[in-house]
């Protein structure tokens, strides 16, 4: 299997003009144009529950977390821009 190099992550074929995530051809990485990564710690049981929800809903963990972040923004009267 061919390994991706750094440049291939940012090739046009891996991104969309909308800046949304696109899964690379080998499905090992997600290309995120115009986004920043953040890290936070949660209970391991919460991660397991998130993984189950992802499988049940046929969505990625990323998609579910973006949905949750947008819900949080709405709760506090902010536009859902995640």
Are the beta carbons of 22 and 38 closer than 8 angstroms? Answer: no
Could you tell me the CA-to-CA distances from 13 to 1, 7, 37, 60, 63 in Å, in that order?
Answer: 19, 12, 21, 21, 21
What pLDDT, on the 0 to 100 scale, is given for residue 22?
57
pLDDT at 34: 87
Tokens representing 67 are: 């949905």
pTM: 0.61
Residues composing the chain: 82
In tens digits, what is the pLDDT along the chain, a chain of 82 residues? 445 454 444 444 444 444 555 555 554 456 678 889 999 999 999 999 999 999 999 999 999 999 999 999 999 999 999 9
Question: Which tokens in the block code for residue 56?
Answer: 């049940």
């Amino acid at each position: 299997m061919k390994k991706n190099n750094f440049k291939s992550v940012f090739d046009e074929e891996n991104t969309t003009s909308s800046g949304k995530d696109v899964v690379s051809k080998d499905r090992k990485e997600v290309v995120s144009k115009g986004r920043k990564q953040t890290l936070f710690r949660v209970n391991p049981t919460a991660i397991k529950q998130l993984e189950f929800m992802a499988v049940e809903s046929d969505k990625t963990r990323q998609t579910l977390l973006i949905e949750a972040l947008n819900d949080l923004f709405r709760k506090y009267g902010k536009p859902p821009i995640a």
